A and B are shown apart, each in its own frame.
Chain A
Amino acid sequence: MLVRKYNLACVQAAVEVIDDPAQKDAVIARNLERSLRIAASAVARDEAKVIVFPEGWLQGHGFWRSPEDWKSICVSVPGPETERLAAFARRHQAYLAGAAFECDPSWPEVWFSTGFIVGPSGTVELRYRKLQEHNVEGLIPNASPCDLYSEYVRRYGEDSLFPVLDTPYGRLAVIVENDVNFFELVRIFTFHGAEIFLHPTAEDQGPQFPSWDQARRSRGYENLCYLASANYGQLSSGFYAAQAPRGCSTVVNFSGNSVAKIEGHGESLLVAPIDLQRLRYRRTEGRMNYPAQVKSELFGKEFAKRVLMPKDTGPATRQTGEETIRRLQETGVFAPVHVDKN
């Protein structure tokens, strides 16, 4: 089956945050059912075939949580929650993508922010663990596969780092939140064949915050890809300002233009047409075909010369980040802060 053009939806969800871990299952169930109803409206009204949910939309980011509480609110992927989503996907013959705080029961020592796609097969068809995690800033006590690289690759294989799912709606990849700021990651997915990036995100700056929006659009432009960002619309929690998330869910096309955007926060739904045929045609054109023009061999050499954030540190913490900055200053990648050279 070949689909040239279809609708993609981003559910800008109003999320109930798990304030009390004892309420985990009830809160997740409410978030799940509410967002699936909105998704159902996108299917009924717009025949959406690919639907994206925000990062952490089942559990909510609780930056005040203790490491034990964080782990206790994790889900498994696959697990009961993805099964519920997969039932919807099978029924509507659609693909659903999101990201959740996840712990693999076979590796209970660590947990991840995990992107996934469930599809018409009724199963989890793709699982991706966020690489550019905020743990290095001390924001969240989880892990990135990079922190555990050798063990991670031993368990899941190297291909598990950058998975791409081939579907009638294009080759789909999931990147999560902060990942969008790292062009290398998006480029590598493009090298692996990705065409449509589904970007569950959780951005809590105000609507006037151009940097991430520019980064998002640059990723589309420089990789000739679509990128669909679904952000939180609103949070209900004893610890959060209700309108703290910026919303601004956006779909960016292969020219770097945002083809659809919600201009602010609040629970909302964004639907955008994806012209797969046009994307594929654009990629056959030579002019400004960056993924084909980039000197990958040259930059592979260059990137290997200096280590920025190292791998295999064990689950990274604020200390890992601070040590990295110190090392970058000592090795001259960063200049020391106060030097009088005038």
Chain B
Amino acid sequence: MIAPYTAVAIQTIIRHVKDSKWRDAIVRENVYRSISMMEYVRHRFGAARLFLLPEFSLTGAEHVRSVEEWTKVALRIPGPELEPLANFARENQAYVGGGTMEYDPQYPGRWFNSAFLFGRKGELLLRYRKVNGADVQGHTTYSTPPGLYDLYVKTEGSEDAIFPVVDTPIGRLGLINCYDINFPEMIRTYAMRGAEVLLHATGEPYAPHREPWEMSRRTRAYENLLYVVSANHGGYAAQVHDDVFTDASGLIFQQRHGGEISPLGRSHGGSEIVDFNGHVVGQAESPGEALALGTIDISALRERRAELRGNILAQVRSEIYAKEYAKHRASPLNRWLKRPVQDKREGSQNTREVIERYLQDGVYVPPAGYELAALDAKKRRASV
């Protein structure tokens, strides 16, 4: 029997690596600020067993950086920068997870938007690489495992590496990042692989009121009878000159870089913990540095999964649905098998092509006045 325990989403203000020459100092600052917030939890609220940091919480996400520069800014998992987090896990008999941009020399010319989980001995328990994101949205240049599917499965030795789940004394844990939450198929896949607590390292740069994503979290928890722990960033602290940051107020500052302008506005904040009924059990309601604490009761979850009534997971007609999914051609695998992503617009182009095909094939109906196959340069620009 697993006793109920406290999980904490650590909502940090991310110090953003803009100029890569400051990478080490900024990453260190992000790591130590995260640890001091975890220390605060320990002193103020007593033992928590599970901590989660936001997506790209150690480097920030610079959307206009070249692939080559990213491979230098991104961290290794495991690696020296993450060691203090692993040590915290060991010293406090806790599980510590989070998101970071990652470079793995096995995949030259590529980088990943990844998440990690350290266990109570400080060992790396999970490494996950984001499956849905830039490859369909086109806002940056990280690779996703489906984009190089055949190579990825061969290198990692198994398809299981795409959806890793670890069985621990605090339940079966899995990781997802940000946009993944909006694809119910992702979370169903994890549930089919046994996941009970989904650690959602997220980076939602929207206004505090951003209902659809919150709805996604709750629906995912309810329809898969699992916990969702979502840690979002509370804002960006941008580097203004050399080692000078803006204050940590939750504002995202406008920055010029290479002629482009990065986002302006507040972070969504709203880190939260959702139980297997789809109810929120802990929430940071606003942006800024904050903590969302919630109780996770794995025994209650297991008892619930053993009950028949409303057990959505046990009722899914998966064979019939699997067949239909296999018949349909939506976003393809292996698009970047031979040549890594170079330009962030390749992701939105990927989606553009599926939409145009849908409009031709009748999956979608063109709106009145819409010109089919209008893949001219002007429209393409409008879509990125």
Question: In the bound complex, do residue A337 and residue B302 qualify as a contact, i.e. CB atoms below 8 Å apart?
Answer: yes
Question: In the bound complex, do residue B368 and residue A277 qualify as a contact, i.e. CB atoms below 8 Å apart?
Answer: yes
Chain A contacts for B183, CB-based, 8 A = 222, 290, 293-295
Bound together, the chains give a CA A329 to CA B308 distance in angstroms of: 13
Contact among B1, B279, B302, B355 for A292, CB-based, below 8 A? B355
A34 within 8 A of B: no
CB distance from A64 to the nearest CB of B (A): 17
B216 within 8 A of A: yes
Chain B contacts for A281, CB-based, 8 A = 367, 370
Q: Which residue of A lies closest to B222 (CB)?
A: A211
Question: In the bound complex, do residue B325 and residue A303 qualify as a contact, i.e. CB atoms below 8 Å apart?
Answer: yes
Question: In the bound complex, do residue B318 and residue A288 qualify as a contact, i.e. CB atoms below 8 Å apart?
Answer: no
Chain B contacts for A338, CB-based, 8 A = 1, 299, 302
Question: In the bound complex, do residue B311 and residue A284 qualify as a contact, i.e. CB atoms below 8 Å apart?
Answer: no
Q: Which residue of A lies closest to B351 (CB)?
A: A286
Chain B contacts for A131, CB-based, 8 A = 317, 320
Chain B contacts for A301, CB-based, 8 A = 159, 326
Bound together, the chains give a CA A281 to CA B365 distance in angstroms of: 9
Contact among B196, B325, B368 for A335, CB-based, below 8 A? B196
CB distance from B359 to the nearest CB of A (A): 7
Bound together, the chains give a CA A187 to CA B320 distance in angstroms of: 13
B244 within 8 A of A: no
Chain A contacts for B370, CB-based, 8 A = 280-281, 284
Q: Contacts A218-B219, A293-B331, A295-B331; is A302 near B163 (CB within 8 Å)?
A: yes
Question: In the bound complex, do residue A218 and residue B364 qualify as a contact, i.e. CB atoms below 8 Å apart?
Answer: no
Contact among B188, B278, B305 for A184, CB-based, below 8 A? B188
> B1-19 toward A: CB 8 Å interface, digit per residue (1/0)?
1110000000000000000
Contact among B278, B308, B313 for A214, CB-based, below 8 A? B278
Question: In the bound complex, do residue A289 and residue B355 qualify as a contact, i.e. CB atoms below 8 Å apart?
Answer: yes
Q: Contacts A218-B216, A286-B355, A300-B322; is A341 near B169 (CB within 8 Å)?
A: yes
A322 within 8 A of B: yes
Tell me the residues in window 325-340 of chain B with beta carbons closer than 8 Å to chain A beta carbons: 325-333
> How many residues from A make CB contacts under 8 Å with B?
88
Tell me the residues in window 179-205 of chain B with beta carbons closer than 8 Å to chain A beta carbons: 182-185, 188-189, 191-194, 196
A305 within 8 A of B: yes
B264 within 8 A of A: no
Bound together, the chains give a CA A136 to CA B333 distance in angstroms of: 35
CB distance from A237 to the nearest CB of B (A): 22
Question: In the bound complex, do residue B192 and residue A304 qualify as a contact, i.e. CB atoms below 8 Å apart?
Answer: no
Question: In the bound complex, do residue B315 and residue A308 qualify as a contact, i.e. CB atoms below 8 Å apart?
Answer: yes
Residue among B136, B196, B302, B364 having the largest count of chain A Cβ atoms under 10 Å: B364
Contact among B132, B138, B321 for A185, CB-based, below 8 A? B321
Chain B contacts for A285, CB-based, 8 A = 383
Bound together, the chains give a CA A19 to CA B162 distance in angstroms of: 53
Question: In the bound complex, do residue B308 and residue A138 qualify as a contact, i.e. CB atoms below 8 Å apart?
Answer: yes
B218 within 8 A of A: yes
Contact among A210, A255, A280, A293 for B364, CB-based, below 8 A? A280
Q: Contacts A131-B317, A183-B223; is A306 near B192 (CB within 8 Å)?
A: yes
B261 within 8 A of A: no
B303 within 8 A of A: yes
CB distance from A4 to the nearest CB of B (A): 7
Chain B contacts for A286, CB-based, 8 A = 137-138, 348, 351-352, 355, 383-384
Instruction: List the one stretch of A21-29, A104-112, A188-196, A240-248 in contact with chain B.
Output: A188-196
Question: In the bound complex, do residue B219 and residue A215 qualify as a contact, i.e. CB atoms below 8 Å apart?
Answer: yes
B309 within 8 A of A: yes
Q: Contacts A295-B131, A301-B326, A302-B189; is A308 near B314 (CB within 8 Å)?
A: yes
> B289-302 toward A: CB 8 Å interface, digit per residue (1/0)?
00000000011001
Bound together, the chains give a CA A210 to CA B330 distance in angstroms of: 31
Identify whether the interface residues of A are mostly helix, strand, loop, or mixed: helix
Question: In the bound complex, do residue A295 and residue B333 qualify as a contact, i.e. CB atoms below 8 Å apart?
Answer: yes
Bound together, the chains give a CA A161 to CA B312 distance in angstroms of: 20
Q: Which residue of B lies closest to A162 (CB)?
A: B324
A95 within 8 A of B: no
B377 within 8 A of A: no
Chain A contacts for B315, CB-based, 8 A = 132, 136-137, 182, 308-309, 321, 324
Q: Contacts A211-B278, A309-B314, A309-B318; is A296 near B330 (CB within 8 Å)?
A: yes
> A109-151 toward B: CB 8 Å interface, digit per residue (1/0)?
0000000000000000000000110001110000010100100
Contact among A146, A161, A329, A340 for B306, CB-based, below 8 A? A329
Question: In the bound complex, do residue A215 and residue B383 qualify as a contact, i.e. CB atoms below 8 Å apart?
Answer: no
Chain B contacts for A184, CB-based, 8 A = 184-185, 188, 316-318, 321, 324-325
CB distance from A254 to the nearest CB of B (A): 11
Question: In the bound complex, do residue B330 and residue A161 qualify as a contact, i.e. CB atoms below 8 Å apart?
Answer: no
Bound together, the chains give a CA A2 to CA B282 distance in angstroms of: 48
Contact among A181, A210, A303, A324 for B322, CB-based, below 8 A? A303
Contact among B192, B310, B313, B351 for A302, CB-based, below 8 A? B192
Chain B contacts for A182, CB-based, 8 A = 223, 312, 315-317
4 closest Cβ contacts across the A-B interface? A300-B326, A300-B325, A303-B322, A280-B367
In the complex, 9 of the A-B residue pairs with CB atoms within 8 angstroms, ordered by the A residue number, are A136-B315, A192-B363, A214-B219, A215-B219, A217-B212, A286-B348, A297-B333, A325-B314, A341-B2
Could you tell me which A residues sit within 8 Å of B by CB distance? Answer: 2, 4, 131-132, 136-138, 144, 146, 149, 161-162, 170-171, 181-185, 187-188, 190-193, 195, 210-211, 214-215, 217-218, 221-222, 255-257, 277-278, 280-281, 283-311, 318, 321-322, 324-325, 328-329, 332-342
- Contacts A221-B182, A296-B326, A304-B318 known; 20 new A-B pairs at CB < 8 A: A146-B320, A170-B365, A171-B365, A182-B315, A211-B278, A214-B222, A217-B212, A217-B215, A256-B212, A257-B211, A292-B364, A295-B131, A295-B146, A300-B325, A307-B318, A308-B314, A321-B314, A338-B299, A341-B169, A342-B2
